Amino acid sequence: MNERKKHVVKMAHQLFIDKGFQSTSIQDILDYSGISKGTFYNYFSSKNELLIAIFKSVYSELATLRNELLMGQDRSDIEIFIKQIELQLKTNRKNKLITLFEEVLVSNDADLKQFIERGKVKNIHWVYLRLIDLFGEKKKDYLLDCAIMFMGMLRENLKFSLLTHDSNANLSHVVRYTVNRLVNMVNEVAVQDEQLISPLTLESWFPDCKKNQHDFQKRIHHGIFTLKNKLGQNEQSASISLLDFIEEELLDTKKPRKFLIESALFSLNAQLRGILKEDLKKLESIVEDFFIGLDKTDK
């Protein structure tokens, strides 16, 4: 996204917060961001597409910040998970996402509603994968249920705690309290061997590609995390941005564009040196395996 388009997204986001999505017209956006109607439609086909761009921008920023919290840390450290959840909630509040979600849900736009629902499922998927990091593969069969129940408990705990407490001061306490309940819940369902929804259901929730299967997701996350962790020490922001793009294209796109991923990998090859080249080769191998599997599926 170029700087001018980012500016429009930022200005529109503020307008949607101040006036509401439904009450903001395209002319309002043109006036506030200082662009022409032609420029607007060069970037976005509609106001709805602009709103989706805002959500994607926030999600991308959140994913980067969550990954940064993991760099150099033990993925099984529950304190890191707590910090990631707190970060997500603070990001939602800062960007007034809940208010925007509510406007979408009362609208009649099917595409916007589908985008929001898919975002919720992807977030549950992320929590599920983090729970595997925390509690291990042996409890994997129960962890999708636990991810769903955890997010439901967290939402309701936050809602009712706001009735009696200061929201900012109480957020950390609510998250820690709910995570403590999560630990007990995971142990209980594992001991009782109870399962409501199989993790295999995730494949039907993401029917268009196999990249969301846990094994591939885990390999991609590990490969990119390893490179980012080493790059972080040298602050090579251009390379980190390319890695973010590759991860988003592979994991968040229905039909990953192979030529763009190959171009990003080529650019990384030109930027990286020494031991990082070996880590990049491992990532390239994972990507190659993915597209080979995708070709077989298409046939």
Tens of pLDDT, residues 35-69: 999 999 999 999 999 999 999 889 888 988 888 88
Total Cβ atoms within 10 A of residue 231: 21
Which residues are within 8 A (CB) of 287 and not within 5 positions of it... i.e. 6 or more apart?
A: 246, 250, 261, 265
Q: How far is CA 19 from CA 12, 93, 249, in A?
A: 10, 17, 33
Same-domain check for residues 80 and 197 = yes
Domain that holds residue 291: 208-298
Q: In angstroms, what CA-CA distances link 1 with 29, 60, 180? A: 18, 12, 40
Q: Does the pLDDT of residue 167 top 70, yes or no?
A: no
Of 114, 88, 102, which is closest to residue 205 (Cα–Cα)? 114
| pLDDT tens digits, one per residue of 111-151 | 888 888 888 888 999 999 999 999 999 999 999 999 999 99
Contact 122, 252 (CB under 8 A): yes
**In this structure, is the dihedral angle defined by the CA atoms of residues 56, 208, 199 and 287, taken in order, positive or negative?**
negative
Question: In terms of domains, do 145 and 31 share one?
Answer: no
pLDDT for res 210: 45
pLDDT at position 299: 47
At 266, the pLDDT band (50, 70, 90 cuts) reads: confident
- Same domain (yes/no): 197, 212: no
Percent of the chain with pLDDT over 70: 88
Q: What share of the chain is helix, strand, coil (3-state, %, to 5)?
A: 80, 0, 20
- Angle, helices 237-252/214-232, rounded to nearest 10 degrees: 170
Domain total of the chain: 3
pLDDT at 12: 94
Which residue reads 């977030």 in tokens? 123
Answer for the pair 88, 62: CB distance below 8 angstroms, yes or no.
yes
174 belongs to a structural domain: yes
Domain assignment present for residue 62? The answer is no
Q: 127 and 102 in one domain?
A: yes
**Looking at the structure, do residues 4 and 93 belong to the same domain, yes or no?**
no
Q: Is residue 188 part of a domain?
A: yes
Q: What is the mean pLDDT of residues 14-36?
A: 92
Separation of alpha carbons 259 and 286, rounded Å: 16
Based on the fold, state whether residues 246 and 137 are members of the same structural domain: no
Q: How far apart are CA 53 and CA 9, in angstroms?
A: 7
Q: Are residues 145 and 189 in the same domain?
A: yes
Q: How far apart are CA 149 and CA 185, in angstroms?
A: 9
- Among the three residues 202, 219, 252, which one is the final residue of a domain in this structure? 202
**Tokens coding 122:** 């992807």
Specify whether the CB–CB gap between 286 and 220 falls below 8 A: yes
pTM of the model: 0.70
Are 114 and 149 members of one domain? Answer: yes
- In whole angstroms, what is the distance from residue 202 CA to residue 186 CA? 19
Mean pLDDT of the chain: 85
Q: Are residues 79 and 195 in the same domain?
A: yes
pLDDT digits (tens, 9 = 90+) for 99-109: 888 888 877 78
Q: What is the pLDDT of residue 199?
A: 87
More confident residue, 282 or 275: 282
In this prediction, residues 7-34 reach a mean pLDDT of 92
CA distance 272 to 209: 30
